[in-house]
Structure 1
Amino acid sequence: MTGGETSDYNAVPELLAMPVGKPSSFLADKGYDGDSLREELLFHGIRPVIPPKANRKDPPSCDFKAYKDRNRIERMFNLLKQSRRIATRYDKTAKSYLAFPSIAAARIWLPLFRNPGVVINSEC
């Protein structure tokens, strides 16, 4: 967990060190475009899917077809942030703050298990 105004870019090494299955790709926006991050991802066997910044002299290639899947991630964050408590970080401690996204995610996902044909809208 990072601070509210801190870039998530700083948390990438901790994310890569997590004891979970290794992803095949790392989808991120232009804010994550940097040679050191790309090298770190490739070192771990993870394909970076990051569009290059406009000011790069020799821009690396990007799989824009795979990058379109990032939209799904952004929509999920949007659904989670519909809970004002998450978006505004009302909780004083990290422990209580980190518990609430799990509750919000369960609130979003549970209807899908009951009715598989249900489409989630922004009013969840």
Structure 2
Amino acid sequence: MQRHELTDQEWDLLAPHIPSAATGRPRADDRQVINGMVHKIRTGMPWRDLPHRYGPWQTVYTRFRRYALSGVFYQALQQIQAQVDAADDIDWLVQIDSSIVRAHQHAAATGRKGDTSADEPDDEALGRSRGGLTTKIHLACDGRGRPLALLITPGQRHDGVCAQPLLERIRVPRLGPGRPRCRPDHVIADKAYSSRGFPAYLRKRGIGHTIPEKADQQRHRHNRGRQGGRPPAFDRETYRRRNTVERCFNRLKHFRGITTRYDKTTASYKAAVSLASLLLWARSV
């Protein structure tokens, strides 16, 4: 096994979820091709510079692009979550946060101005700010720092706007009969998620939450007197566990292809983040 390649344990977890071709020419070894994808994402190198031991780079790229459009890695991530949940090993104290990623100039050359399609958003999740082109990763992780759901948006998208869509992406399937597990026991988030809408949404679903109140919200409530209502409950001891999601981002950003976005399309970048998330789960089992 070379550096930045799958261990036997990781491959045993991932292999059952890789689609196989029933007909056609004999294709390149699946493990060899997946190792090429992991090496590319881990190092951030261009596809054309992949080492020869992974076979033709066109084969690795074509397979990766096919898996990205069909959501193979995200589906595999959900299946591994289902296996861990069946063993009652998921901590449903969920933390959510986001992280901004700089987009390389190669990611901006999409050649798709004014074009829309069913599988790719028009803006390709690229936002322009004072720092240039950026993408934002919104992440929900369990209490052990393993990704449960992710959402890719342009870098200028506010966290509070994406909080509800992010939580609705948590869907851990059951290995047996039953609906997927979608509801956390408790949610921890920082002040960016303290707008009235998101806590109200959590209360409606019966989800406990620990979210600090912004200073301007406190002043506004005090100025209203009795009509301002009571301050929201806040448990400092529980909030101290919010650093778990920060550590999850740190581990994801060990992959240089995620720390800087080189992928032109949102589907490819999401597939890269999903594959890295899948490896985090595989290494924790």
- Where does residue 36 of structure 1 map in the other structure? 197
Q: How many angstroms does 1:47 deviate by?
A: 1.5
User: Taking structure 1 as reference, are residues 19 and 81 closer, same or farther at Cα in structure 2, changes over 3 Å only?
Assistant: closer
TM-score (structure 2 length as normaliser) = 0.36
Gaps of 5+ in 2: 1-151, 172-181, 222-230
Three-state SS of the structure 2 residue aligned to 1:45 is coil
CA distance in 2, matches of 1:88, 1:43: 37
CA distance in 1, matches of 2:275, 2:170: 23
CA distance in 2, matches of 1:86, 1:19: 21
Q: How many angstroms does 1:33 deviate by?
A: 0.9
CA distance in 1, matches of 2:238, 2:280: 25
**1:80-119 pair list within 5 angstroms:** 80-113=252-285
CA distance in 2, matches of 1:105, 1:39: 30
Give the structure with the larger strand fraction.
Answer: 2
List per-residue Cα deviations over 1:18-67 (Å, max 9, x = no partner). 36220121211111111221111111111121011122134422112111
CA distance in 1, matches of 2:209, 2:283: 33
Q: How many angstroms does 1:111 deviate by?
A: 4.2
CA distance in 1, matches of 2:272, 2:263: 9
**1:1-124 pair list within 5 angstroms:** 1-18=152-169, 20=171, 21-55=182-216, 56-57=218-219, 58=221, 59-113=231-285
Gaps of 5+ in 1: 114-124
**More relative contact order, 1 or 2 (CA 8 Å, 6+ apart):** 2
TM-score (structure 1 length as normaliser) = 0.77
Identity percentage of aligned residues: 38
CA distance in 2, matches of 1:8, 1:15: 10
CA contact (8 A) 2:159 2:192 kept: no
Matched to 1:54, the amino acid is A
The structure whose Rg is larger is: 2
User: Taking structure 1 as reference, are residues 85 and 39 closer, same or farther at Cα in structure 2, changes over 3 Å only?
Assistant: same
User: Taking structure 1 as reference, are residues 106 and 53 closer, same or farther at Cα in structure 2, changes over 3 Å only?
Assistant: same
Q: How many angstroms does 1:76 deviate by?
A: 0.6
CA distance in 2, matches of 1:101, 1:16: 17
Matched to 1:47, the amino acid is G
